[in-house]
Structures are given as C-alpha cells and as structure tokens.
Amino acid sequence: MKNLVYVDGVWHDRNVPLMGPITQSVWMATAVFDAARSWDGVAPDLERHCERLIASAHIMNLKPMLTAREIEDIAWEGIAKFPREAELYIRPMFHAEDGFVLLDPDSTRFTLTILDRPIAKPTGFTACLSRFRRPAPDMAPTEAKAACLYPNAGRAMRDAQARGYTTAIMLDPNSHVAEFATANLFLAKNGVVQTPVYNRTFLNGVTRRRVMQLLREDGIDVVERSVTFDDVIEADEVFSTGNLDKVLPAIRIENRDFQPGPLMKRARELYMAFAKTQGRR
C-alpha cells in the first residue's frame, strides 16, 4: 500500500477524484493544507500541524468543519493502516467547492492523504540564490500554508535544478534571506546558531520552532535576526529544517562547499530523540 485518501468519512487506496473544472479552489487556488510525518509509531508535533491547518483555513476564509483534535484522530486512524516501520507523509487539506473570486465558506471540504514516502538521509543538499522572492504579507496570504504560495517556490526550485543545484535560497522583498524554497534555513557561526527572524514573509515552520526550542534547552545559543546572503556564504555550516525531511545539511551553496557540522548533527539528534516521545496520546 503506497497511499491512502480520506474523503467524506471513507478511506480509499487510490487517488480519488475530488475537484472539477468549476471547483473554486481549482481556478482560484484557495486550498490550504498542512503536513506531518509518522514512523515507528510516532508522529512528531502532529497536533501542532493540525492546529496550523485550522489557522490557515481561517486566514483564507474557509470554514473548517472539524477541530484540530478531530483531524489528529483521523490521521492516527490512517497511520494505523500502515506497517509500523513505514515512513509516512500526512497531508490534511481544506478547499472550497463553490464561489467565484470570493469563495463560499459553507462549501468547504476536508480531505486527508497519507503517502508512504521515506525521509531523506542526511547526506546533504546543494542550493543557489534564486531570482524569485518570497512575497510580503500585503502581497499574498503568507501566514497560511496555502497552495497558492507554492508555484513561486516551484519556480525557484526548478530554476535551481536547471543550474545543477538541489534547491534555492529565496530572499524577502527587503533582500534579506527568507528561507530555502520549501524549508526553513539555519546557519551556524562561531558556535551560535542563527536563523532569519520571522517577519511573516515565510512560514514559521513547526519543525523550525521545535528545533530552536530543543537547541536552546540543550544550552546552545540560537539567534533570530535579519540574515544576508553573504552571512550564509560566510557561515561555518548551513542546514535546513522542515516537515518533509526534518533536519538536513547543506553541502554546497553556490560555489562554496560545506561539511555537515556539529550543530546541525546535534539539532538532528535532539529532534529525533524528541520524536521518539511523540506516540499517540
């Protein structure tokens, strides 16, 4: 079994047809989603991801018919249908069925997909500076995990891969580093972990916040500040955090090579130890 889809109270083992050509979210991109991970019977911060989905839905004027706890229960129900050792990607979503430019909140629908997708090994990735930027909060619904934000990230990633890199580093409208195309960015310099200050131009990741907390509890200095691309190039180590692959090291940024560093390794070690505590309550 490679995936499961939950629609209208029923689990399916196929990609269920869900939207038609006049579905409001198809042509107005008003869907929101979130994503969590599960393996070995744990699902780190699943409740936080479900809570963020509800918040994203309200930002887009959708009308969730489920609570975060109810979504979490559905996710655990689906997780139990897979082998315990499966590395799962859990993706709940709300979308609007009706409306023109303005969606009809009462037409909101819910689905949840679970994919069997391995977590990447921490062997490292490469990145380059992108010409595409993250939008300002008055330009797009940047505080939501909204589908409409991802085509621009996809453009940045496609351009980076055409240049021979894995992903891209995206700046914000003020030319400060925002994040990698689909993950939050961290760097380490002189024993201090640094990350772009959350300015609402990028998603304040659940894994980002958890890693910051774990490092600080471990006695490591973590500083949020405005980061330039030069800061990234001049760092001792660079790494990403994100739900899909958790904590990964950058091994090349533009023409500079990096090694997986001790602070990245400690961040990943702490996160994986935390994850082991996150079974179903």
The gap between the terminal CA atoms of the chain, to the nearest Å, is 26
The residue ranges of every structural domain in the chain are 3-116, 125-275
Mean pLDDT of the chain: 97
Q: What is the pLDDT of residue 280?
A: 75
pLDDT band at 281 (very low <50, low <70, confident <90, very high): low
Distances (CA, A) of 186 to 17, 122, 217, 222: 39, 15, 17, 10
Mean pLDDT of all residues in 7-33? 95
Looking at residue 116, its pLDDT comes to 96
Q: Among candidates 174, 185, 82, 172, which has minimal Cα distance to 132?
A: 172
Residue 279 phi, psi (nearest 5)? -75, 180
Among 17-21, 76-80, 92-96, 238-242, the minimum mean pLDDT is found in 17-21
Superfamily of domain 125-275: D-amino Acid Aminotransferase, subunit A, domain 2 (3.20.10.10)
At residue 1, does pLDDT exceed 70? Answer: no
pLDDT one-digit tens code per residue, 206-230: 999 999 999 999 999 999 999 999 9
Selecting from 3.30.470.10, 3.30.70.100, 3.30.420.40, 3.30.70.270, what CATH number does the domain 3-116 have?
3.30.470.10
In DSSP terms, which residues pair with 256 in a beta bridge? 253
Both tokens of 242, joined, read 């994100």
pLDDT of residue 117: 95
pLDDT at 2: 84
Mean pLDDT over residues 176-196, rounded? 98
29 Cβ neighbours under 8 A, 6+ residues apart: 146, 147, 148
- Provide the 8-state DSSP code for 250: E
Angle formed by the axes of helices 262-275 and 206-217, nearest 10°: 110
